[in-house]
Amino acid sequence: MGRSREEKEDAPADAPDGRTVYIPLRFHYEYKSRRTVAGLPLIHINIGQGLYKARGILAIGTMARGVVSLGVVSAGLISLGAVSAGLISIGALALGLLLAAGGAAVGTVAAGGLAMGILAMGGLAVGVYSLGGCALAAKIAAGGYAHAPIAMGDQGSGGMFFDMHTALPDAVRSAILTRFPGTWKWIADLFSSVV
């Protein structure tokens, strides 16, 4: 009895001698350098279909941990991955002690769709100083909607509100330095340049 057309398309191919041949589709590659630094391989690459861990100075794998790490889940001083954590972190979900960038970012300086940090920049930015579509800050905020003691935007609320289209940079700088005298110069310059 013959197979239907759909069964023929879904079935494995037959070898010339009539046997059915299955070809495994799993891919795996691993490289670990012989040279080590403090017991860690200089380079460790462990990639493929499935969960593979890499640990080294430069680590590349599904789950990577190293000084520089690249992986779906990664941790290191410089970390890149879908979920990443490190001193400097870039990923869909990024946690960075110094800098974080990604879809959702949390760090001292954070940039992303959702950003939380001392200086936060993004669609929804929450921090001490915030720039973004919706900026919420403890001190200074600028964006489409801004809420902070000093806020500048199209709409917003706070102790002092500046319309983004009519405010003068010198007036904004003066308000920042009057309300928060210890503010770093580059922060005052950044926010006064927004208007």
* Mean pLDDT across 107-129: 97
Note whether residue 45 is domain-resident. Answer: yes
User: In angstroms, rounded to a whole number, what is the distance separating the alpha carbons of residues 90 and 185?
Assistant: 27
Q: Is residue 4 part of a domain?
A: no
Residue 14: pLDDT band with limits 50, 70, 90: low
Answer yes or no: are the C-beta atoms of 143 and 169 closer than 8 Å: no
Amino acid 157 reads: S
Check pLDDT > 50 for residue 1: no
Question: Is 17 part of any domain?
Answer: no
- 10 part of a folded domain: no
Report if residue 1 sits inside a domain: no
The upper half-sphere exposure of residue 63, i.e. CA atoms within 13 Å in the direction of its Cβ, equals: 4
pLDDT at 143: 94
Look at the chain and report how many structural domains it folds into.
1
DSSP class of residue 2 equals P
Q: Is residue 89 part of a domain?
A: yes
Candidates 28, 13, 35, 99; CA nearest to 80 is 99
The pLDDT of residue 13 is: 55
Q: How confident is the model at residue 41 (pLDDT cuts 50, 70, 90)?
A: very high
Would residue 2 count as lying in a domain? no
Q: What is the mean pLDDT of residues 48-76?
A: 95
Per-residue pLDDT of 19-28, as tens digits, reads 776 666 778 8
pLDDT of 59 above 80: yes
pLDDT given for residue 4 in this prediction:
46
Global pTM value? 0.79
Residue 49 lies in a domain: yes
pLDDT for 80: 97
What pLDDT does residue 10 have?
A: 52
For residue 102, the enclosing domain spans 27-194
Q: What is the pLDDT of residues 145-189, one digit of tens each?
A: 999 999 999 998 888 999 988 889 999 999 999 999 999 999 999
Range 104-121 average pLDDT: 98
